[in-house]
Amino acid sequence: MIFSTKLVFHKLENQASLKYEQIMNQTGLKTIFVSGTAGSGKSLL
């Protein structure tokens, strides 16, 4: 039971991150976010 719940949660988590990527791509902020995080760890968090 716990295992299946974990799988469902993981699937939702993946969908959320994909949606986030789509938004970042559409707004053109992804490159800024990636370069910012690569530059100084967690600057935008």
pLDDT confidence of residue 13: 87
pLDDT at 43: 47
Q: pLDDT for 1-45, tens place per residue?
A: 567 788 888 888 888 888 888 877 777 765 666 655 555 555 444
Residue with the two structure tokens 């699937």: 11
pLDDT score for 1: 57
Burial profile 16-41: b = 16 or more Cβ within 10 angstroms, e = fewer: eeeeeeeeeeeeeeeeeeeeeeeeee
Residue the block writes with tokens 């295992």:
3
